[in-house]
Amino acid sequence: MPLYRDYSDAQGSIQVWKYDDSEVFDEDQLISKDDWEKVHNYHPKKKIEYLMIRKMLYDLLPGHQILYRTMGQPFLHPKDAFISISHSYPYASLAVSQKRIGVDLEKVNPKILRIKHKFIHHSEESWIFGHENEVELLTIVWAIKEALYKLHPSKYWSLKKHYQVQEFSLSDLSSVPCAVFDAEFKDEYIAKISQIENYFFAIIEENHEINYPLQRLIK
């Protein structure tokens, strides 16, 4: 499995991999007993995405598993680090960090215009709607909000009403301000955006470390 991009830093590992048709996975090694029947009923591309994520985890932290909370958020077991995952065939990304983290891969697709009213906050409309690069702006905002949700989730919030992205330029995607808020609080973050072929990749990390002994785990 060829490593496509590596965004790792002192706090952990953030990797993006691209599937190659020549790759062969050891399914007995990568598919957990609890997931075996479910995974073998997946669509072939979804199964490959599953295997890519587990292969990255196996190479990074052998003996660990990805489990899921009732709301669907993945977590690491043993829980000695935070994780976030994203996949959009042929790409997959795994982040393992001392900080709470959210990552998201989104393909640029004009179909996003059909759903923009479902996730764009009213404060974002003036600088997105009708812009000559509206599809790209919408895709980036969607990726940021998905990454924010993975870092800061709640079943009571909506991407449209409680997640907000400040205006940014396509020429500078290195630090895009964004926030999660409701009537009682506002948590602010900085998203880092990269373009990977016809995809955008968002990384958002919490701004303080958790005291997990991650250095001894990350190879």
pLDDT digits (tens, 9 = 90+) for 100-152: 999 999 999 999 999 999 999 999 999 999 999 999 999 999 999 999 999 99
- pTM to 2 decimals? 0.91
pLDDT digits (tens, 9 = 90+) for 56-85: 999 999 999 999 988 889 999 999 999 999
Q: Bigger pLDDT: 173 or 33?
A: 173
Residue 13 has pLDDT above 70, yes or no: yes
Residue 50 has pLDDT above 80, yes or no: yes
pLDDT at res. 2? 61
- Residue for token pair 């940014």: 168
Same domain, 93 and 186: no
Residue 5: phi and psi, rounded to 5, are -140, 150
- CA distances to 17, 53, 92, 138, 157 from 87, in Å: 9, 8, 4, 19, 23
Residue 210 has pLDDT above 80, yes or no: no
26, 71, 85, 160 alpha-carbon torsion, rounded to 10°: 150
Q: How many domains, the chain?
A: 2
Domain, as residue range, for 41 = 3-103+207-216
Same domain, 126 and 140: yes
Same domain, 127 and 188: yes
